[in-house]
Amino acid sequence: MVLSTAEKNTLIQKASELIKEADYCVALTGAGISTPSGIPDFRSPGSGIWTKYSPMEVASLSAFRYHPMRFYEWIRPFVKSLFLAEPNPAHFALARLEKGNHLRAVITQNIDALHLRAGSKKVFQVHGTYQTLTCLGCYRQIQATDKFFTEFLDQEDNPRCPHCGNLLKPDIILYEEQLPAQTWRAAREEILACDLLLVLGSTLTVTPVCDLPLTALSRGAEVIILNRTNTHLDHLATVYIQGNLEEILPIIADKVLDEEK
């Protein structure tokens, strides 16, 4: 559905009013908030990562265990895009809303850490992060420094633990893996507490994260959905805007924050 400029402006105004009036606003973000930063998403027709690879062959726990070399051959280009990416205006808009006490938390499916780099403080990375790795031998967690990434992207061998020499696994959640329990519980608590949920750049197709908006709705929360494509929950949203997050979200944040000055 193509909106006229006037229709889109009306929805933007309504979204800003909902955020301003909310007692407990939480954001749920997916890959669509980071694609403007140069990070490919997984499911877009023709350009998504899973149009080129089978996720179970390269990004499952079984694939990592039995074919780690294949896993690292696949993930190196992806990690390079994460390493080189910078936060975009949508990330900064959420950080501004949090600083202005209009956003309580960000729950993200993304592993790129761009929310944190943009200045958001309360971020739940329910699918993990590429910035740490865990040794499969001694179970030490390794912080991935710039030096580590430079060496990792240049070498062909699998990364090894500097303490015991065993294989390192990035702390990202693969297929067949459970979400980090503590982070997931905390994210669900935010959903149970919110009276307004912003769904930003997510197709809402990946479980169990896709169930979070339904949980919020079942408890009486209102939902705003901003995305480039349709989702199956658009008809339940108080506001649904289809468009570019890096353009729309900063405008909404400006309206919320400027109206208080």
Residues of the chain within CATH 3.40.50.1220 domain(s) are: 1-39+88-127+179-261
Residues 129-146 have pLDDT tens digits of 999 999 999 999 988 887
- Provide the CATH number for the domain formed by 40-84+128-172 in this structure: 3.30.1600.10
Residues of the chain within CATH 3.30.1600.10 domain(s) are: 40-84+128-172
| Reported pTM | 0.91
CB 190 within 8 A of CB 100: no
Closest C-alpha among 246, 240, 210, 209 to residue 223: 240
**Quick one: CA torsion of 12, 23, 232, 126, rounded to 10 degrees?**
110
Token readout for 23 is 């007692």
What is the longest distance spanned by two Cα atoms in the chain? 62
- Provide the CATH number for the domain formed by 1-39+88-127+179-261 in this structure: 3.40.50.1220
Residue of 127, 163, 232, 235 marked active site: 127
- The label of the residue with tokens 């499911």 reads 43
Sheet containing strand 168-172, strands side by side:
141-143, 128-135, 168-172
Residues 103-115 have pLDDT tens digits of 999 999 999 999 9
One pLDDT digit (tens) per residue for the chain, 261 residues: 677 889 999 999 999 999 999 999 999 999 999 999 999 765 444 444 544 556 667 778 988 888 888 888 888 888 888 888 999 999 999 999 999 999 999 999 999 999 999 999 999 999 999 999 999 999 999 888 877 777 777 777 788 898 999 999 999 999 889 999 999 999 999 999 999 999 999 999 999 999 999 999 999 999 999 999 999 999 999 999 999 999 999 999 999 998 544
Active-site residue flag, 127: yes
Interhelix angle for 245-258 vs 5-21, to 10°?
50
